[in-house]
């Protein structure tokens, strides 16, 4: 079984690339972020023609998340229960597996935060705390669990092309990293770090200053797996090929392989 997460930075623009990627990489569940389209504009038929089902939670201009899957999604929840939010940032669902417990997947587009000290940063902190409270209860009900998406947070300096220059900047503040460590403390594990990875492995590169060509990026797209799911993880990689496309997303997919 394969799972993947990808911030596509506008599904209307990137749909042909997503469909081409799925044809070449037939994952079982793909979590998409930053759809930038309303629910009525979501291209469900295009995914159906490619053999995939979809659950989506859209929003005009910004945000928007979806789960694209080969099998039917069950127990779908949108956003964080109990947290008042007008942003389309979270979609979760369970997926049946033969001979194994259902797999619970949460696909999330974490707030950017803009800058430390800003109102958007305060919203990000409140959102992260609400997410952690909710996931604590989700993990009590779903032993086999994966949280994946664009976290907009680096774990440490290894995830940053210029640790000194970006220290205490957005995505790299101690406040954000504390919240990320608190998520991991719920008995979650960074799938990327379960395997030896090439140095300077990033998932996002700015469009400006030839950042991708110069590998000046950040690792901000993550897949966290529960302790019960961890033994089934066989590989986790960042697929940089789509970032080479014409008019690409500024993010690359992260792909997780699980034992069948």
Distance from C-alpha of 251 to C-alpha of 233, rounded to nearest angstrom: 23
Q: In the chain, how many domains are there? A: 1
Q: State residue 191 phi and psi, 5-degree precision.
A: -60, -35
**Active site annotation includes 109:** yes
Predicted confidence pLDDT, tens digits, the chain (260 residues): 999 999 999 999 999 999 999 999 999 999 999 999 999 999 999 999 999 999 999 998 889 999 999 999 999 999 999 999 999 999 999 999 999 999 999 999 999 999 999 999 999 999 999 999 999 999 999 999 999 999 999 999 999 999 999 999 999 999 999 999 999 999 999 999 999 999 999 999 999 999 999 999 999 999 999 999 999 999 999 999 999 999 999 999 999 999 98
Of 150, 159, 221, 250, the catalytic one is 150
At 61, which CATH number? 3.60.10.10
Task: Give the pLDDT score at 154.
Answer: 98
Max Cα–Cα distance, the chain, nearest Å = 50
Please state, as a whole number, how many other Cβ atoms lie within 10 Å of the Cβ of residue 85: 14
From the list 28, 109, 221, 250, the catalytic residue is 109
Q: Label residue 61 left, alpha or beta by phi (over 0 means left) and psi (-120 to 50 means alpha).
A: left
Range of the domain at 201: 2-258
């Amino acid at each position: 079984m394969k799972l993947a997460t990808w911030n596509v930075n506008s599904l209307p623009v990137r749909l042909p690339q997503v469909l081409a990627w799925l044809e070449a990489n037939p994952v079982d569940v793909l979590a998409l972020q930053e759809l930038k389209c309303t629910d009525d504009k979501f291209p469900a038929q295009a995914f159906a023609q490619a053999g995939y089902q979809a659950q989506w939670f859209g929003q005009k201009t910004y945000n928007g998340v979806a789960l694209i899957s080969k099998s039917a999604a069950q127990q779908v929840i949108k956003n964080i229960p109990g947290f008042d939010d007008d942003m389309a940032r979270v979609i979760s669902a369970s997926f049946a597996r033969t001979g194994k417990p259902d797999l619970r997947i949460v696909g999330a587009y974490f707030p950017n935060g803009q800058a430390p000290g800003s109102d958007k940063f305060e919203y990000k902190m409140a959102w992260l705390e609400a997410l952690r409270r909710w996931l604590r209860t989700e993990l009590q009900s779903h032993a086999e669990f994966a949280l994946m998406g664009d976290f907009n947070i680096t774990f440490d300096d290894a995830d940053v092309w210029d640790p000194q220059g970006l220290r205490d900047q957005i995505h790299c503040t101690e406040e954000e990293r504390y919240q990320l460590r608190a998520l991991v403390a719920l008995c979650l594990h960074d799938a990327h770090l379960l395997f030896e990875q090439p140095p300077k492995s990033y998932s996002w590169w700015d469009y400006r200053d030839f950042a991708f060509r110069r590998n000046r990026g950040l690792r901000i797209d993550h897949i966290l797996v529960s302790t019960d799911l961890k033994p089934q993880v066989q590989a986790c990689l960042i697929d940089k090929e789509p970032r080479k496309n014409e008019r690409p997303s500024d993010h690359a997919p992260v792909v997780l392989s699980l034992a069948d």
